[in-house]
Amino acid sequence: MDTSRLLRTTGTVIAAAGLLLSGCTSGGSGGPRAAASSPGEAGVRSAAATAIPAALRPYYEQKLSWRDCGVPGFQCSTMKAPLDYARPEAGDVEIAVARRPATSRGKRLGSLVVNPGGPGGSGIGYLQAYAGIGYPAQVRAAYDMVSFDPRGVNRSSPVECLTGPAMDKFTQVDQTPDDAAERARLVASFKEFAAGCQARSSRILPHVATVDAARDMDLLRGVLGDEKLTYVGASYGTFLGATYAELFPGRVGRLVLDGAMDPSRPALELNRDQTAGFETAFTAFAKDCAKQPDCPLGQGGPDAVAARLKEFFRKVDAQPVPSGDSGRPLGESLATTGVIAALYDENAWPQLRESLAAALDGDGSGLLGLADSYYEREPDGKYANLMFANAAVNCLDQPPAFAGPEAVDAALPSFEKASPVFGAGLAWASLNCTYWPVKATGSAAPLSAKGAAPIVVVGTTRDPATPYKWAQALAGQLDSGVLLTYDGDGHTAYGRGSDCIDTAVNTYLLEGKAPQDGKKC
């Protein structure tokens, strides 16, 4: 169960499991105020606030050649960006871009760039599967819907780490070690993962920080011909958007940051906060489950339901159950990941009940399917590069949460207090950046984006992946932040059924009128 520091919208997390349509448990943080991603970056940053450096002008002046994507209504192109913004002469990376032109050319307002989160989520996949066809009709009429795969992700110079079979083994490693041997296997798995990334992706690894992706996003804005950026970022995409605003406050148009992160919190605190967030989400699920006639965890309060789930995890840790895949029985790690995947969206709760009931009856295929959707594993055993890019970005954005296993031991009580069900596993999962081959270039720091136009920050009160207090914190840090609150369940709020939220966001995007700060839905 490597679910540490992955944030994404529910629209992509359950896709492979057959639900509607980007995870681990705490997003990377470390903004433009953090250490430069390479020598001389700070100087580039200060210049970027007012003018485009001469060395970057050829990139901003490039022309995109649009072609048919093979998906009706969408066009694709490739944009070149510097591998290293401090040394543009060091070579290029290719950034894959897609768009769906505005459906009403007469009312066109420009481009609306969207990002689904991650880090590691494919913006193009999100655009084609959801945003480009599922955003409100009036928004799609007014804007060219645009997205890109951030550097290191999917079609954009992707980070690669493990083969499919090796990734299968990695996802099954016990992340609640009971003895020295299990602890050694867990540490070895993280080292093997990191070594695989270095062996297969050494050129790109030092250059996939969020600050690099934010610079790419400004390059995209310029190439698209927009004076200012209009943007909707979900989950980790809120950190990307806030980083952009900090770097380029004068180029901020209408920014919506939905399911917000708090960039001021270090990795350890982020991981622990998100552990508590999943506990909050599970409590909501448990209360609902106890009311349902098919609840496989029985009746009673949330504590009783939680105790039964914990006992189920203990049993499959000792004796995995068949899953229909002879090489991948359902053990504790995959079972936990499957449960966490379903907690992103309350619409997945019925599927979670059904999958838990089957697993308790000896059939782990349902929970395995949920886990596979989380890891973006295809039926043929191939994995998207989501988890590889996720680690690569997070491990650059901040120093690791823990220096080693002993530090995890010391933190276990606080994680288990945050979540009696998930705490131990999520604490050990937070060890994933400890053995990373590239030193972190960022660190936790508040982002203010002084001088930016109003930025709408959306928070959901029982969000499992981005706790509500993070939205409160980000809105408070941003000089022009406006907090919009959804009192509800699930990860993110825009486009998920609240007319109140959707109306407020649509009005802002279409008319430029931000909701009143503190508005609640």
What integer is the mean pLDDT of 27-31?
34
Q: How many CB atoms lie within 10 A of CB 451?
A: 12
Residue-wise pLDDT tens digits, 58-108: 999 999 999 999 899 999 999 999 999 999 999 999 999 999 999 987 788
**DSSP string spanning 49-103?**
TTS--GGGHHHHT-----EE-SSTT-EEEEEEEESSTT-GGG-EEEEEEEEE--S
State which amino acid sits at residue 118. G
Residue 47 domain flag: no
Question: CA angle at residue 490 from 303 to 151, to 5 degrees?
Answer: 125
Is the whole model's pTM more than 0.75, yes or no?
yes
**Catalytic option among 201, 235, 355, 430:** 235
What integer is the mean pLDDT of 15-37?
31
Residue 67 domain flag: no
Residue-wise pLDDT tens digits, 347-370: 999 999 999 999 999 999 999 999
Residue 59 domain flag: no
Tokens of 485: 């609150």
Question: Known catalytic residue: 491?
Answer: yes
Nearest C-alpha neighbor of 387 from the set 188, 184, 166: 166
Tokens of 173: 């490693």
Question: What is the predicted pLDDT for the residue at 126?
Answer: 95
CA distance 267 to 240: 16
Q: Which residue has the tokens 């939680």?
A: 306
Compute the Cα dihedral for 394, 495, 503, 75 and give only its sign: positive
Residue 138 domain flag: yes
CA distance 15 to 111: 26
What integer is the mean pLDDT of 48-53?
65
Residue 46 domain flag: no
**Catalytic option among 2, 212, 226, 463:** 463
The domain tally of the chain equals 1
CATH code of the domain covering residue 207: 3.40.50.1820
Q: In what order do the strands lie in the sheet with 229-234?
A: 67-68, 75-82, 92-100, 143-148, 110-115, 229-234, 252-258, 455-462, 481-489, 519-520
Range of the domain at 312: 1-32+101-521
Question: Known catalytic residue: 235?
Answer: yes
Residue 78 domain flag: no
